[in-house]
Structure 1
Amino acid sequence: MTRKLFMLTSAFALATGVNAAGADTWRYAFEEALDEVQGKFAQKFKEEIEANSDHEVQLFPFGTLGESADIMEQAQSGILQFVDQSPGFTGALIPEAQVFFVPYLLPQDEETLAEFFRTSTAINEMFPPLYEEQGLKLLTMFPEGEVMMTTAEPVTGPADLNEVKFRVMTNPLLVESYQAFGATPTPLPWGEVYGALQTGIIQGQENPAFFIESTKMYEVTDHITRAGHNNFTTAVMANLDFFEGLPEEEQTLINDAIDTAFEYIIEYQEGLTEESLEKIKEAKPSITITTLSEEERQPFMDTAEAVEQEFLEIGGDQAQEILDQLKADLEAVGAES
């Protein structure tokens, strides 16, 4: 059986099993393992739903139903009720969501970042209608941690990324960002990344520290670079028809569970980055972990304006409005902090 046929068969089995499972069973797929950040969020959501209702929530970690594109299709079709997916993959559906890949836009301070996601007008008011156009109910977005580069050779500036084949998500703006950084961006599904690094097909990739550690990506890299250019963002969505078909009290149940899981995952991540880096260093003492100085970061920061302009070109009809509102939201939380 081919891999694609397996995916289709799995989806069909889910679809035909709806009546057997019963209306009280909700299905939730995400892009990480159960013990990673998205998995922890999903488990907390499941716990809250099951403690406060008769519903059961079935969780499907990465790989059980296919790649990111597969679970998105299943969520849009109603086979899945919930899906957690980064804007890095939904950027083709919702071009405005690519704004999260403008480098050096989001703050590095974790408390400020969390408050931004809680209160942002752009996230909580402007994005939901865009997701609805794709048959999705945006329930929340949350940060997953500082994004770091892993490479075969040390990186202290854009010149060190020259001709480096750098894996990126299938997102046009992320491609533009790494081109501006001097690399050769190479879109690849996540399932192919470890092998591609191992065989030298690519020489770099980016992810938060917890993900580099849990997926053992450090085994096939020699250098981790903290350029401070971004924080990984993800979005939790429901199938729109499913959500709108629920009685008001069940919609409230879902929203309350999402709010609880959001606060839980923010607290869960406190200290997670440094703890993960310590585990990586312990597992591979030869690896170098470098935090670039402000002077070293400046050439990377200088590319942000060009990437921002590209976002305005490819980011959809509301790109300018959303970018302006995001900046206003960030300025507001920055002033408060």
Structure 2
Amino acid sequence: MTSTFRSFLGGVAAVAMMAGGTLAAQAADWKYAFEESLTEVQGVYATKFKEAVEANSDHTIQLFPYGTLGESADIMEQAQAGILQFVDQSPGFTGALIPEAQVFFVPYLLPTDQEHLARFYKESKAINEDFSELYAEQGLELLVMFPEGEVAMTTKEPVKSCADLNEVKFRVMTNPLLVESYKAFGATPTPLPWGEVYGGLQTNIIQGQENPTFFLYSTGIYEVTDHITYTGHNNFTTAVMANKDFYDSLSDADKKVIEDAAASAYDYIVEYQKGLAESELKKIKEAKPEMTVTVLSEEERACFKEAAAEVEAKFIEMTGESGKAILEQLKADLEATKG
């Protein structure tokens, strides 16, 4: 980012903070950006959040779907600068900013059971206390984290083991631990912003990528790959944040409106996603009958699970005692919320 643009951000941020913060007792227009389209999971959550805020206050919220304000790095900078009051961004992109957030990319840490995940994200001490402090250090108020579904690999060639990923250029988010994960899986990890993925697959610059099932359909990424593989290695996590200076400047009444909106939207999105992966996979099969869909057996997953231990050790090496404590707390929270 150029110094001129940084100066511009600073100037706009001052105005945004005045409109969204010190004048919060009056009706304000707040801005909320996210990484997906309005009809995808983050967009549906944002819409419900907006509806709840506007129903219970005089404030209004403008929603900015993916691409309208730039890539993921751009909207995070705008949120930290106070230009945006709210932002939804996956730990996959905040991992460089908050290294401990990379814990969500330790393979096989999170279960595939959606009911268990719904309890975990709502009740986890690591998320609601420990991560709140880490996000605050970066000028962000963590409002909620929620799951978006089991991650599936899409590739040009079938994948039945780690050996099948050998020399495959596999797109990953710009996240150091995700890079290490795909190295451990045997692939050649290739960090790319989302805007370059479809074209990269089309031109064979990359030969694979991972995302939740609904996203494979809504983005049309299935059109440029031939095989969908479920290894059970991860569930996509996202986080909704507010600019902390803005949030701290609000009245207690406005903070409650936001907290209640975040909670009600969470409950809605968890219900909304039930059966979503199955319905979107059905649409993919109808649109592209030749697409193969494979759920790996426990035996076939063995090499990926072996690699997970290596990635977990790498996470602790990257993040030190802080990361180790977060990892241990997450494991304890997962055990406590098993049901």
Closer, same or farther in 2 for the Cα pair 1:285/1:141, shift >3 Å? same
The aligned counterpart of 1:284 is 288
Could you say what the CA RMSD is over the residues aligned between the two structures, in angstroms?
2.1
Helix, strand or coil at the partner of 1:303: helix
Once the two structures are superposed, the pairs formed by residues 325-336 of structure 1 within 5 Å of their partners are: 325-334=329-338
CA contact (8 A) 2:13 2:81 kept: no
Distance in 2 between residues matched to 1:265 and 1:174, nearest whole Å? 26
- Superposition pairs of residues 65-84 of structure 1, within 5 angstroms: 65-84=69-88
Residue 63 of structure 2: aligned partner: 59
Pair 1:122 & 2:126 matched: yes
Q: Distance in 2 between matches of 1:212 and 1:36?
A: 11
Which one of 111, 133, 136 corresponds to residue 132 of structure 1?
A: 136
TM-score normalised by L of structure 2: 0.94
Aligned counterpart in structure 2 of residue 172 of structure 1, from 165, 171, 176: 176
How far residue 299 of structure 1 moved from its aligned partner, in angstroms, is 1.2
Residues 224-244 of structure 1: per-residue CA shift (max 9 Å, x gap): 001110000000000000000
**1:127-186 CA distance string (max 9 Å, x none):** 011001100000010000000000000000000000000000000000000000000000
* Partner SS for 2:181: helix
8 A contact 1:28–1:81 mirrored in 2: yes
1:298 CA displacement = 1.3
Aligned-pair CA distance for 1:211 = 0.3
Structure 1 66/118 Cα, relative in aligned 2: closer, same or farther at 3 Å?
A: same
Question: Which of 23, 30, 36 matches 1:32?
Answer: 36
1:182 alignment partner in structure 2: 186
Residue 147 (structure 1) aligned to one of 151, 161, 168: 151
2-structure distance, mates of 1:16, 1:141? 28
AA aligned to 1:91 is: G
* Match for residue 201 of structure 1 among 188, 205, 220: 205
Displacement, 1:204?
0.1
* One-letter amino acid matched to 2:157: E
Check conservation: 2:227, 2:291, Cα contact below 8 A.
yes
Is 1:262 the equivalent of 2:293?
A: no
Instruction: For 1:56, give the aligned amino acid.
Output: T
CA distance in 2, matches of 1:217, 1:8: 34
2:72 and 2:89 in contact (8 A); partners too: yes
CA 1:194–1:9: 2 relative to 1, 3 Å: farther
Deviation at 1:8, TM superposition (A): 8.1
Contact 2:230 2:294 (C-alpha < 8 Å) held by counterparts? yes
* Counterparts of 2:320 and 2:175, CA distance in 1: 14
Aligned residue for 2:337, secondary structure, equals helix
Give the CA deviation at 1:11: 6.3
Q: Using a 3 Å threshold, how does the CA distance of structure 1 residues 16 and 118 change in structure 2: closer, same or farther?
A: closer
Aligned match for 2:315, one of 311, 315, 327 = 311
> Does the 8 Å contact 2:19/2:29 carry over to 1?
no
Which whole-Å CA distance do the structure 1 matches of 2:115 and 2:129 have between them?
21
Q: Which residue of structure 1 aligns with residue 106 of structure 2?
A: 102
CA shift digits 1:109-143 (9 cap, x unpaired): 11011101011010011001100110000001000
- Deviation (angstroms), 1:16: 8.6
Q: What's the TM-score, normalizing by structure 1?
A: 0.94
Rounded Cα–Cα distance in structure 2 between residues aligned with 1:155 and 1:201: 18
2-side partners of 1:155 and 1:53: how far apart?
Answer: 51
SS in 2 for 1:315: helix
Q: Which residue of 2 aligns with 1:211?
A: 215
Q: Distance in 1 between matches of 2:231 and 2:321?
A: 31
**Structure 2 gap segments, 5+ residues each:** none
The code of the aligned residue for 2:311 comes to V
Point out 4+ residue stretches in structure 1 off by more than 2 angstroms.
7-23
One-letter amino acid matched to 1:52? N
Contact 2:170 2:209 in 1 (8 A): yes
Distance 2:280 2:9 in 1: 34
- Contact preservation (8 Å) 1:99, 1:315: no
Q: Report deviation, 1:48.
A: 0.2
* Partner Cα distance (1:316, 1:175) in 2: 18
Rounded Cα–Cα distance in structure 1 between residues aligned with 2:14 and 2:136: 26
Q: Give me the whole-angstrom Cα distance separating, in 2, the residues matched to 1:281 and 1:132.
A: 43
Match for 2:246 among 239, 242, 245? 242
Distance 1:326 1:308, change over 3 A: same
SS at match of 2:240: strand
Q: What amino acid sits opposite 2:209 in the alignment?
A: Q
Shift of the alpha carbon at 1:17?
A: 7.3
Deviates more, 1:134-143 or 1:313-322: 313-322
Question: Partners in 1 of 2:302 and 2:337 — Cα distance?
Answer: 24
Q: Alignment identity in percent?
A: 67
- SS, match of residue 113 in structure 1: helix
